[in-house]
Structure 1
């Protein structure tokens, strides 16, 4: 079985994502909130002072043990400067992330990045597997130090929670993820809230662009000319060979005046 290449992630994370699923009687499938957390700039800290890097890493792990336990989570694995954690509740995962970050910014000042996704996973004695793990890792890799980023699935679960505020950063094409993912940041005075343009470059995640193909008008009139005009618009769309996300397209606005200034708003 061949695996797709996964780039721009720490090698330890790649190992987690690419390891084969062992056959075991203890395997179980569940819906989980999947959190990845790591120390931003850890390599630079290590190069500058190895003893300081070890101290930061140990403090990070101790912090996770304390907070994750308080929010009924499970630390699945530590890898180098990061950790994979799962929760039964998306709300508890986000509250835990806020607590982790708000504590980390104080002494000893640990610069952390956190990403959370909600998805089906397979759990057994050797770890956690599933596409959701990959999505969570990709989202975490986009974060700035001090930020908590969420997928839309997590956002929907916590949308009505009065103690959690979020802001949408945009829709991104994550490497090796089939569908674009809406990414949100948790808003809190103690957290970093990145602007869309501040997304970490290592994510290689470009915000999806929309393009509007306006209908052609058959000036000569007649059914044949109108059919030709509609067909020309469709041929242009087909020739672009990219998804077209529009609310105002040629087939639906034949008899509708669609003002040009409204297109960016209606097409997203």
Structure 2
């Protein structure tokens, strides 16, 4: 199968994340996406990072399961999977240096490069928006890829793409945090989903889905292990800006965090 369109490739940049608390049967499900980042000072070397929310990767000592697609010499074998399971992931875990920012990632460089059967597509570091784009305006169409309510194409291990629009002025920090609002239905399992838009001539990563708004003015972290129950979402979501992703990745690359020799 050839993946000639970037919209198709995003489905293979996104990974379903399952964590299981030790000494417990509690399982959490969220979304992550792969970004390739050039390693400064080392020509042609890139780091691969699985970006998500801090509340998805909440305890690096938990058990972790990642399901990738299987390939052969760079060609996808659709419907075949590679399951990676570890009892902890603290050696490759990185979070944002500000504990109030709900971002974390895993350095999966060694994991992917040491297993030639893993097939993936990575989003590029230079796709991260700096929010200076003149066409980045309220009402702009956006889409995000993930596993809402743990719904996905099980046969092919493919996530779901959903659409919405920007509901606040994206260049202004919503409530004085580096976040903005989207008009879209955000459900459990969508935590960590990349939010994307088309700014000619190419796509931009605008941020990471983090929270949903519910009635009575509450903000709630998008849960990874339960439904919203009787609480009614307003159809509005909170997105952490891509500038925060850049800060986290720059810190990881500059300090070479998570590279296992």
**TM-score calculated relative to the size of structure 1:** 0.25
Q: Decide which structure has greater helix share.
A: 1
Greater Rg over alpha carbons, structure? 1
TM-score w.r.t. length of structure 2: 0.26
Larger % of strand: which?
Answer: 2
Looking at both structures, which has the greater relative contact order when contacts are Cα pairs under 8 Å and sequence separation is at least 6? 2
